[in-house]
């Protein structure tokens, strides 16, 4: 990249290019509003238009329109239009500012934002953004406050939230949001506590959870959730322990694990 950064986002655009937004500098933790575009065809990075607000530990999610919704760290939100390369303001979330939350695109093209931290307090509250109206709406709270969790869309159109942490402890608990009812329901917990982990929807419809930080420290374990049975089962161990890593489903059906600490 042109500028070293951490706590940023990277979003795959419909063009195949990758949009990187915000974060902080790696040495002095200065907040960034700059963005960059990576083009895999040329293997080159280029500067793109800066966001209106500097952000770190925020969310960025590709909408069905091909635009990218960025929110978090501050209460403001903005949308990147890849056809023009410009940012446009979107309606703001309710205050106070939220960070370390997770954004998930629903089948309806609405965006579900769950948990995170506000004013140093872990949150159970959730909001939904509707691109067609440019409005945020508050929905039912999760059953537990959490940050550093995951939230993944299942084939059933429901959203599975796993693990994370609160002010007091790490979490193994899981819950499912049903957009058709607007309700949260607890489901079977993972086999161990995990935060800063990954969950990946496999081609089978099952969910792979890998590594993260647990009761014993950084983890190398993994487990698989089967929505048809509602149960978690242990899977193979990673070659090394990881947290803050990424997991990418390849076209082959295999999962690529990269980075972390």
pLDDT of residue 44: 92
Following CA atoms 112, 116, 117, 118 in sequence, which dihedral angle do they give, to the nearest 10 degrees?
10
Can you read off the two tokens belonging to residue 237?
């161990």
All residue ranges of the chain with pLDDT < 70 are none
Closest among 124, 139, 11, 23 to 73, alpha carbons compared: 23
pLDDT of residue 60: 96
CA 114 to chain centre: 9
Q: Where are the domains of the chain?
A: 1-99, 100-261
Sequential DSSP letters for 106-131:
-TTS-EEEE--EETTEE---EEEEET
pLDDT of residue 167: 87
Is the overall model pTM greater than 0.85, yes or no?
yes
pLDDT of residue 257: 92
CATH architecture of the domain formed by 100-261: 6 Propeller (2.120)
Cα separation values, 201 from 28, 109, 155, 211, 254, Å: 36, 18, 9, 15, 11
Can you read off the two tokens belonging to residue 24?
């902080």
> Per-residue pLDDT tens for 121-176?
999 999 999 999 999 999 999 999 999 999 999 999 999 999 999 988 999 999 99
Distance linking the first and last C-alpha atoms of the chain: 20
pLDDT of residue 260: 86
Can you read off the two tokens belonging to residue 107?
């089948």
């Amino acid at each position: 990249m042109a500028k070293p950064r951490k706590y940023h986002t990277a979003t795959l655009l419909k063009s195949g290019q990758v949009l990187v937004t915000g974060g902080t500098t790696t040495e002095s933790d200065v907040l960034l509003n700059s963005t960059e575009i990576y083009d895999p065809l040329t293997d080159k990075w280029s500067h793109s238009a800066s966001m209106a607000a500097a952000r770190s530990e925020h969310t960025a999610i590709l909408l069905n329109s091909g635009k990218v919704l960025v929110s978090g760290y501050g209460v403001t939100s903005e949308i990147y239009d890849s056809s023009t390369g410009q940012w446009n303001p979107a309606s703001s979330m309710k205050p106070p500012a939220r960070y370390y939350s997770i954004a998930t695109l629903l089948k309806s093209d609405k965006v579900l934002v769950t948990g995170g931290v506000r004013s140093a307090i872990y949150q159970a509250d959730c909001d939904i953004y509707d691109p067609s109206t440019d409005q945020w709406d508050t929905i039912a709270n999760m059953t537990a406050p959490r940050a550093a969790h995951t939230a993944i869309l299942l084939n059933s159109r429901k959203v599975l939230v796993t693990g994370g942490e609160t002010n007091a402890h790490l979490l193994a608990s899981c819950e499912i949001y049903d957009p058709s009812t607007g309700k949260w329901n607890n489901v079977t917990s993972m086999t161990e506590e995990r935060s800063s982990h990954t969950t990946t929807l496999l081609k089978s419809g099952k969910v792979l959870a890998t590594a993260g930080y647990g009761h014993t420290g950084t983890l190398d374990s993994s487990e698989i959730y089967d929505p048809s049975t509602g149960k978690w089962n242990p899977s193979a161990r990673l070659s090394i322990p990881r947290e803050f890593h990424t997991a990418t489903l390849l076209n082959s059906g295999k999962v690529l694990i990269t980075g972390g600490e």
